[in-house]
Structure 1
Amino acid sequence: MVSAVFHSPLEAAAPAARNGDKPRDSAATHLIAAHTQQTGATAQNDMKTPTPAVAAAKPQRDLSYLWLGILPPLLGLGLLALVWELVFMGTGGSIPSPKDTFVQAVQIFSDPFYSKGPNDQGVGWNVLSSLKRVAMGFGMAAIVGIPVGFLIGRFNFLSRMFNPLISLLRPVSPLAWLPIGLLVFKGANPAAIWTIFICSIWPMIINTAVGVQRVPQDYMNVARVLNLSEWKIVTRILFPAVLPYMLTGVRLAVGTAWLVIVAAEMLTGGVGIGFWVWDEWNNLNVKNIIIAIFVIGIVGLALEFALIKLATAFTFEEVKN
């Protein structure tokens, strides 16, 4: 008794494929190709079509961004406005209210670049003058501080020589250096730039030196085996490894410089945001003082944000973190 066994076209083509022979039935070959194309197209459609779980997760991510990214800052600003209003009510109006300060700010920023003489200029000119002094003092500190940090971190003898000096001079208040600048440079503007320089140089020296000292010793051993020159060691090994530490020092130095310039300009006078605050205090204009506080904070925040963007432009994971 012969039993009839029916095979599918794929099963019929399988023995021929295993034996390395061509399939006898050409229709089976076409069926295999059609089946493969249909399976691939189905897989591509499945990849393009989002699953219900993925589609449901997208609104949840949007709500999470709204909850964690937007709402907390708004609540913080609202809390600040509430405390400010309570202080206004508690002091009997000696501190202006948020509403009155906002109205005054709109009036000030409607024409921030007016000029009615050397002692009467808009807030825009004062901010630009302060930024110019910060850029000059900070730039000179970077030119001097970063190479010195490399040398201190690279050579143990220099580290032992300069560590006592840095430990002695770094805790000194920045404003204590201002009279020295006035005595040496015989001018208020160079003295303010000198004060920014001397207070900005320490974070860059210390962070750069620490970064050089934390370079793995294996890197230096490889450089010694390859007989690399000191220039190649600095450019190919030390600089990429030290860059995260160096950028941290730059960020700290910029923040310190912006803090110091306000106090220095209060003492030296001239055009600048610090002098503007002191001049408004002499005029008993508390609204403008509060506006200046917000301007100083916003400019400092913008400088910090710009340096963070500069750091994330590099592909170092530590910088991005």
Structure 2
Amino acid sequence: MNVVSLKQEKSAQAVKTASAQPVMAVVTPLSTTATSTSAPKGAAWAATFRRVFEWGLPPVIGLMIFAAIWAVVAALTQGLPGPLSTWHAAVVLFSDPFYINNPNDMGIGWNILSSLKRVATGFGLAAIVGIPMGFIIGRYHFMSRMAAPIISLLKPVSPLAWLPIGLLVFKAADPAAIWVIFITAVWPMVINTAVGVSKVPQDYMNVAKVLNLSEWKVVTKILLPSVMPYLMTGVRLAMGAAWLVIVAAEMLTGGLGIGFWVWDEWNNLNVEHIIIAIFIVGIVGLLLEQCLVLLAKRYSYE
């Protein structure tokens, strides 16, 4: 009887131990889950703070240093406005950017749009001419050798040197400015497109010959996808050069535009507006560049 009672006690203890184990199994994961949930939240906040510190703080510090140097130079230079006076002038200027008093007195918004219109027209014409020309030069060695001396001779010429030719041919200032933009933007497109076509692997062209593809399919299915990174680089360079030249061209041709506006403000000795125009040119150029960078990433194979 003692042996039987001992066995019964052991079995009862085993049942109690088995029933207690699931409770511990349930309690332990709950505490672990709570700890693991709080840990990622803290790590996420730390990563966010680190990204803000690395990417947001340096530009702010750089702008503050630039403003401080500007303020010191303005304090030491008679007639040069500082950051605060330029900021107040910008607030007044952009409070009504699209006013029209007369054809010679229009808001800064109209001047910016006029310059962008000229750049878009000249840039578009350069793309229509330059990109196909680059494909032809890169595709055929005979055309490349024929065009090489012409490009080498004309490419180093300053874009403003073409302005008198434009005035002589077109007899008007506006098409002459567009002509300067065209001649400035066409060379990067031609050269980069031609280089891209020449870099296409010969194996691709051999496959095209084996498949007896037409010239149109060779261009659209083989050359164009391979050349797109080079082409987009040429487009970016052309846009930067076009926006850079339009200011100088408009200073010489007059009329409506950001370049003429800068020259007109200089004649009025309004230095605040000249500094504002410098920032406008830089900001618009930066926006154009970033738009083309995003477009170029679409065709990047890196």
- Scaled by the length of structure 2, the TM-score of the pair is 0.86
Relative to structure 1, the CA distance from residue 287 to residue 192 in structure 2 (aligned partners, 3 Å threshold; closer, same or farther) is same
1:155: Cα distance to partner? 0.6
The residue type paired with residue 285 of structure 1 is N
Query: Does structure 1 residue 81 correspond to structure 2 residue 67?
Result: yes
Q: Which sits farther off after the overlay, 49-58 or 71-80? A: 49-58
Where is the helix percentage greater, Structure 1 or Structure 2?
A: 2
Q: Secondary structure at the match of 2:102?
A: coil
- Report the alpha carbon displacement of residue 228 of structure 1 after superposing the two structures with TM: 1.1
Shifted more, 249-258 versus 63-72: the winner is 63-72
Q: Paired residue for 1:317? A: 301
- The aligned counterpart of 1:305 is 290
- Asked whether the equivalents of residues 196 and 231 of structure 2 are also in contact (C-alpha less than 8 Å), the reply is yes
Identity of aligned residues (%): 65
2:194 corresponds to: 209
Show CA shifts across 1:259-290 (max 9, x none): 11100000000000000000000001000000
The CA distance in 1 between the partners of 2:42 and 2:189, in whole Å, is: 48
Structure 1 position 106 matched with structure 2 position 88 = no
Higher relative contact order (CA 8 A, sep 6+): 2
2:52 maps to 1:66: yes
Match of 2:266 among 278, 281, 295: 281
Stretches of structure 1 lacking an aligned partner (at least 5 in a row): 1-41
What's the CA shift string for 1:225-255, capped at 9, x where partnerless?
A: 1111111110001100100111111111011
What is the match of residue 154 of structure 2? 169
Task: Give the counterpart letter for 2:80 in structure 1.
Answer: I
Q: How many residues align?
A: 271
Counterpart in 2 of 1:294? Answer: 279
Code of the residue aligned with 1:240 in structure 2: it is P
Output the CA distance in 1 between the equivalents of 2:113 and 2:295.
21
Alpha-carbon distance between aligned partners in 2 of 1:175 and 1:267, rounded to the nearest angstrom: 9
Q: Mark the runs of 5 or more structure 2 residues left unpaired by the alignment.
A: 1-28
What SS does the aligned partner of 1:227 have? Answer: coil
Cα gap change, 1:278 to 1:232, in 2 (>3 Å): same
Identify if the C-alpha distance between structure 1 residues 202 and 50 changes in structure 2 by more than 3 Å, giving closer, same or farther: farther
- Mapped to 1, the partners of 2:115 and 2:252 lie a distance apart of 14
Please, what is the CA RMSD of the aligned residues? 1.8
Name the TM-score, length of structure 1 as normaliser.
Answer: 0.81
